[in-house]
Amino acid sequence: MRALLSVANRDGIADLARELAELGVEIYATDGTRAALAEAGVEIHPISALTGTESLAGGQVKTFHANVYAGILARRQEPSELEELAQNGIELIDLVVVNVKPFAPEVARPVALDEVIEMIDVGGTALLTAAARNYAAVGAVSSPAHYERLVAELRERGSVSAEFRQRLAADALADVAAYYAEIAAYLNHLAGMRFPHRLAVVVEKVRDLDYGENPQQKAALYRETTHRSSSLTDAAQIQGETPTFNDLHDLDAAWRIVTDFAAPTCCIVKQGNPTGLASNDRLAEAYQKALEGDPVSAFGAVVALNREVDIETATSIAGNAYEAVVAPGFSQAARELLADKERLALLAVRGEPFEGLSDYGIARLDFQRIDGGLLVQARDVSELDRSQLKVVTRRRPTLEELTDLLFAWRAVRHVTSNAVVLAHHAALVGVGAGQASRLTAVEIALHKAADRATLSVLASDAYFPFADAIQLAAERGVTAIIQPGGSARDQMAIEVADRHHMAMVFTGRRHYRH
């Protein structure tokens, strides 16, 4: 048995080479891998012993040779091909252990295009593809994660099982596809092609989940390989039970909301929508105001905060029943206090600044699954240009109202459409989400707010087709409204607002979220 080794990730390669040598495997390696093995005290044959030539074209051509590829691709069940190899003095290669340097992390730093081109691996991916194509006889080993089973099978069986070779081939081809997809995405990014003719989605599995939205649905968590911003998929779990599929969905919503605010902010999410959201100079006060938004619905929800959790905030959190809490971190005192709630999951998302390209590929895209395909759009992350705000009523909003209007407008874009939120003193007091009728959304938000609707402001993610909702809000004490405008009945809405001495601002931009 012969093996060819060429690895960028050298974890475990020395141990593998020793094990293979002990099993009588004849090993060849490219120069870099061979040098690394020599440093570890493992001496193996150079690739030139197979090819009969040194590397060419500045080291780019090492393995592109008939002696290599014929040895990998020859079909063992075809006597004519084996005879052909024998006539040419070519030996079979049974194991190809190759991995390439990941592309995405390399371009996270400032890098010139000519340097990017030099990073693109050709030989390694070609070897893996050839080995995977002939998986009926050849093991295409693309990850150190496979080394243990590889050695175990060789010790027990004297060969690699057909089942394992097939799995190795699938992983190798997936690794090659993902590698080139990342490169294509980067070049499309440089060319300004946000929606290229072929959009490759590259994700890697973080872990299996117990189940999906329902127990009968299998599920797993995947991470975008090109994403460079802090995200839930990179969170470190400090304690508690592993978050479920539904927990992760809610945690992601909560985390995206709090990171959209600069001031200390807390968000409580249930079923994908905020039940409470507040900003305050004190994090503990932000949490308390968020809880007051809907303390009943907060039971069994998840919590996100955009500052390290201190002991005061942790003490308040400990008094309620939540599934999980996510934040940039937790003070030692907060961790010790919350440790008593053993089932409560604590997740820390620690974002590291990047000097170069922050993300590319699918990182700035949103997806909606439809039967047979995907709907793809740019993420709704654009900031509101205050110069485009248009006061359409006779009364202008006060400074306090304007502050709350801008808070509510930022919040409403994170709520499922049709969406209406009520806010007062930088805290949500009522939320109406996911309604077919905007009037119903207003009714629900007002019902949730109860007496707190008085002196609150209202934000709507899209225009009001009729003025009845504005009339209802005015009757319940809402003093100001922010909405996109653009309805054929805008003038009627303005007249109703003026009649009740309300202030109303148009943004000229809607925030549907389905």
Can you spell out the DSSP letters for 386-428? GGG-EE-SSSPPPHHHHHHHHHHHHHHTTSPSS-EEEESSSBE
pTM, full prediction: 0.85
Output the average pLDDT for the chain. 91
Query: 268 and 416 share a domain?
Result: no
Helical residues (DSSP H) of 206-282, grouped into ranges: 245-258
* 285, 339: one domain: yes
Tokens linked to 297: 């619905």
- Do residue 262 and residue 173 come from a single domain? no
* 50 shares a domain with 179: yes
CATH number at 186 reads 3.40.50.1380
* 374: in domain: no
Residue finishing a domain among 190, 224, 248? 190
User: Do 496 and 443 sit in the same domain of this protein?
Assistant: yes
Residue 223 inside a domain? The answer is no
Please indicate, yes or no, whether residues 26 and 155 belong to a single structural domain of this protein.
Answer: yes
Residue 104 has pLDDT above 90, yes or no: no
Pairing state of beta strands 373-378 and 345-348? unpaired
Give the model's pLDDT for residue 382. Answer: 67
Summarize pLDDT for 334-389 with one digit per residue, the tens. Answer: 999 999 999 999 999 986 644 445 567 777 888 999 999 999 998 887 677 778 89
The pLDDT tens digits for 423-477 are 999 999 999 999 999 999 999 999 999 999 999 999 999 999 999 999 999 999 9
CATH of the domain at 318: 3.40.140.20
How many structural domains comprise the chain?
A: 3
357 belongs to a structural domain: no
Residues 316 and 422 occupy one common structural domain: no
Residues 119 and 181 in one domain: yes
Backbone angles phi, psi at 149, to 5 degrees: -65, -35
Q: 172 with 265, same domain? A: no
Q: Where are the alpha helices (DSSP H) in 303-375?
A: 311-318, 332-338
User: For residue 61, is pLDDT > 80?
Assistant: no
* DSSP letters for 170-215: HHHHHHHHHHHHHHHHHHHHHTT-SS-SS----EEEEEEES-SSST
Looking at the fold, whether 42 and 173 belong to one and the same domain comes out as yes
Read off the pLDDT of residues 170-194 as tens digits, 9 standing for 90 and up. Answer: 999 999 999 999 888 888 888 888 8
Q: Per the domain annotation, does 125 fall within a domain?
A: yes
| Contact (CB, 8 A) for 1 and 21 | no
88 domain residue, yes or no: yes
Q: Are 276 and 290 in contact (CB under 8 A)?
A: yes
The boundaries of the domain holding residue 343 are: 232-348
The answer on 170 and 47 residing in a single domain is: yes
Picking from 218, 233, 217, 132, the residue whose alpha carbon sits closest to that of residue 174 is 132
Burial class (CB in 10 A: 0-12, 13-18, 19+), 312: middle
* 233 three-class SS: helix
**Does residue 162 sit in the same domain as residue 21?**
yes
What is the pLDDT, as a whole number, of residue 103? 82
Of 215-229, 308-322, 430-444, the least confident? 215-229
Tell me if 186 is assigned to some domain: yes
Residue 215 lies in a domain: no
345-348 and 236-239 strand pairing: antiparallel
Is residue 171 included in any domain, yes or no? yes
